Amino acid sequence: MTKKVALVTGVGPGTGSAIVRRFAEGRYDVAMIARTEKRLMQLAQETFGTHAFAADVTDADQMDEALGRITRELGAPEVVVHNAIGGVFGNFQEIDPAALERNFQINVMALLHLVRRTAPSMIEAGRGVIIPSGNASALRGKANFAGFAPSKATHGCSPNRSRVSSDQRASMLPTSSSTR
């Protein structure tokens, strides 16, 4: 039997690494995506069953290459966690609109592209889940979250599941973790 494959974006030293370790403990092959290859390689050496794929989630060509390599080397992911986040904190009068645009590219557009690339194999397999992290920020008002919460709100952050396909075999499950 082949191992299940999990894909985690935004693998930094905190939440991303913890998610990777948990899936590895659950005997998944874990594909890790982040911009910092050195950190990914270190985590791959420390954690059995993990595999480093350096890419910027906002760069479609880099992501296409990384996802192609993941599928060829490990198989199609059954679980996708979009943990890559962009955040600038402040009120609406303080934040730079360009920073909010960058957050939108990371939090929304990268998720859209990731879902479009990974959901078809989940639908074909009859199972799978896509989990965008950090959505609680969109549900509760908090001072200085004007540059972060709006782009998280677009993840479909109701507590209900969002079905990726009309036959309801693949799901998108928003999380309720918080960064501050």
Can you tell me the distance from the alpha carbon of 65 to that of 63, in angstroms, rounded to the nearest whole number? 5
Decide if 146 is inside a domain. Answer: yes
CATH number at residue 137: 3.40.50.720
Q: Say if 177 falls within a structural domain.
A: no
For residue 87, what pLDDT is reported? 77
* 73 assigned to some structural domain: yes
Average pLDDT for consecutive 10-residue bins of the chain (180 residues)?
A: 89 95 97 96 97 97 97 97 84 85 88 93 93 70 64 47 52 49
In a domain, 104, yes or no: yes
What is the pLDDT, as a whole number, of residue 4?
A: 96
Note the pLDDT of residue 166: 54
Residue 94: per-residue pLDDT: 85
Which structural domain range is residue 144 located in? 5-172
Instruction: Express each pLDDT in 52-75 by its tens digit.
Output: 999 999 999 999 999 999 999 999
Q: Domain count for the chain, please give it.
A: 1
Residue 138 included in any domain: yes
Select from 91, 85, 123 the least CA-distant residue to 106.
85
Give me the chain's average pLDDT, please: 83
pLDDT at 39: 94
Backbone angles phi, psi at 31, to 5 degrees: -90, 125
